[in-house]
Amino acid sequence: MVDAMDVRPWLRLLAAHPMVGMSVALLIRSELGAAPWDVFHQAVAGTTGLSIGMLSNATAALAIAVALGFGVRPGVGTITNALLLGPCVNAALAVVPTASSPIVAGAYLAGGIAALGLGTGLYLSARLGSGPRDSLMVALARRPGWTTARARLALELAVLAAGVALGGRAGIGTLIYAIAIGPVAHAGIRFFMKDSP
């Protein structure tokens, strides 16, 4: 339980969003292939003219609504994520240029995955609620015969397929992300949970 008088969880929650926003921007600007949700966001952005950050907020709100329909109540961190991540993504995209060479692209990819792992650990160590898409994963996992891992895989594959079908750009970076993000996020969670309030 989070102590209402302890400001550290709130600072962690707020600090996590610029870090995750930067990770999204680095993966996109690498042009090696973004994470599945951002392949989808890029595709919809290309057809609607909306910003990737705005679409990130929209899918977060939709995920919260669907999860709520299945009985998964959002925490304050869930709502904060839905409001803050999009502007952080847009701000990071405004300052991160497209990778100028394969070496820079590789550095962007590595940096993006590392930043997402650290941001995930920082966010979860605040203990103020899961992310909107994680809430949706929890809701799916409540179906008979489903596990959290199966729900996560189904969600990621569904949004990736939808993104590619709509013209989003997946690539080797998407594959590397899929392989690496689990262990990297686990390391980030362990690092920040050690001294979690």
3-state DSSP percent of the chain in helix, strand and coil, to 5: 75, 0, 25
Q: 31 Cβ partners below 8 Å, 6+ apart?
A: 98, 99, 105, 169, 171
Q: What is the pLDDT along the chain (197 residues), one digit of tens a residue?
A: 455 568 888 999 999 999 999 999 999 999 999 999 999 999 999 999 999 999 999 999 999 999 999 888 999 999 999 999 999 999 999 999 999 999 999 999 999 999 999 998 898 888 898 889 888 888 888 888 888 778 888 888 999 999 999 998 899 999 999 888 888 888 888 888 876 66
Q: Amino acid identity of 159? A: V
Per domain, the residue ranges of the chain are 8-193
Residue with tokens 């397929």: 161
Residue with tokens 């600072």: 11
Q: 131 Cβ partners below 8 Å, 6+ apart?
A: 60, 77, 78, 81, 123
- Give me the pLDDT at residue 4, please: 56
The distance in angstroms from the start CA to the end CA of the chain is 9
Under 8 Å between Cβ of 108 and 99: yes
- Give me the pLDDT at residue 189, please: 82
C-alpha dihedral over 143, 152, 54, 161, to 10 degrees?
A: -100
CA-nearest of 189, 85, 187 to 131 is 85
- Give me the pLDDT at residue 195, please: 65
**Digit-coded pLDDT (tens) for 87-131:** 999 999 999 999 999 999 999 999 999 999 999 889 888 889 888
Rg value, the chain, Cα: 16
